[in-house]
Amino acid sequence: MKKIFVTLAAILITFCACGRTNNVQNNACKTNETESEEQASNAGTDWEKYELKGKVKQLTIRYYNAHEQAGTLVKDRLRNTFVIDFNEDGTFRQVDWGDSKETYTYSQNRKTVNHYNEKGEWVKKTITVYTYTPWGAIQNKVYTNDEGIEMGREDYTYNENRQVTDRILQGIAFPYTHETNLLYDSAGHEVQCERFDRDGELKETETNIYDASGNRIMHRVERFDGGIYAYGGAQRYTYNPEGFVSMIEGKGDEDDDFHISYKISYIYDDKGNYTVENTMTEQFPSIQERDIVYY
């Protein structure tokens, strides 16, 4: 079996990044657990990108290195702190990345982002123009710089059930990717997605399995090189009595050169938003803390 060199960190990020995110309507190959009414009301907003329920005003995220002590993760060095401010409609108002900052303004189908460096000096402006389907889903996004030069675009195709079947990303800002062959179960959950490069070569597949309640219980990613399987792994989910994810267990394929395993656990506030994420792995243990301020 052909192998490609991949770092442990890259594999862990690949699988963890797919763990909880949900933006089914406008981002192909994204799935999640059964949605609550608050989650559904936040669909399509920037709140959804951070899996936030309710009307969140500010989100502060802190990432720590960690180590295991008597079966428990203990915080070490603080790696990053991000502060995200939202408008009352769930759109970004300002994002402070620590070493840079972004401010957001909106007008009709246009989003303008001004970028600043660590000293607060203006660096550049980027603009996203949206086109919508008759039922309000995104048909395409066009990204331009402050000179009006197109930097990239995303184009979506939908089936008769208004579900994404194809998504094409292309441009200077990111490599060409064609997400296609999206399949859904009778409840509307995405069960399959494939990604191809510009030459039509298969690069990645994702599959999902759900239980009778609509909770995703397994998520699998496989990567390909030259059309040949390279590496992969799966995540399995368990839930607490309230229906929130209590544990994600991930495992790379045992016959891969870079086999890894990890467990991710969560603590929630009374709104159902997670405030602590503990990632237990031999290679990269970490803790994420989230402080949430509501309107």
Second CATH level (architecture) for the domain 8-294: Beta Barrel (2.40)
Give the global pTM: 0.83
* Token pair 């939202």 in the structure block, residue: 86
Specify the pLDDT at position 37: 60
Six-digit token string for 245: 């994810």
69's CB contacts (< 8 A; 6+ apart) are none
Domain spans in the chain, listed from the N-terminal domain onward: 8-294
SS3 214: coil
Copy the structure tokens of residue 41: 């009301």
- Are the CB atoms for 206 and 218 separated by under 8 Å? no
Answer for the pair 145, 124: CB distance below 8 angstroms, yes or no: yes
pLDDT recorded at residue 256:
53
Element containing residue 136 per DSSP (H, E): none
The predicted pLDDT at position 260 comes to: 72
Per-residue pLDDT of the chain (295 residues; tens, 9 = 90+): 333 333 334 444 444 444 454 333 344 454 445 555 665 667 889 999 999 999 999 999 999 999 999 888 999 999 999 999 999 999 999 999 999 999 999 998 999 999 999 999 999 999 999 999 999 999 999 999 989 899 999 999 999 999 999 999 999 877 889 999 999 999 999 999 999 999 999 999 999 999 999 999 999 999 998 878 888 899 999 999 989 999 999 988 765 555 578 999 999 999 999 999 999 988 889 999 999 999 9
**Where does the chain show beta strands of DSSP type E?**
56-69, 72-86, 92-96, 101-107, 110-116, 122-132, 138-145, 150-158, 164-171, 177-184, 190-196, 202-210, 216-225, 228-239, 245-252, 261-268, 274-280, 286-294
pLDDT of res. 174: 75
pLDDT at site 2: 35
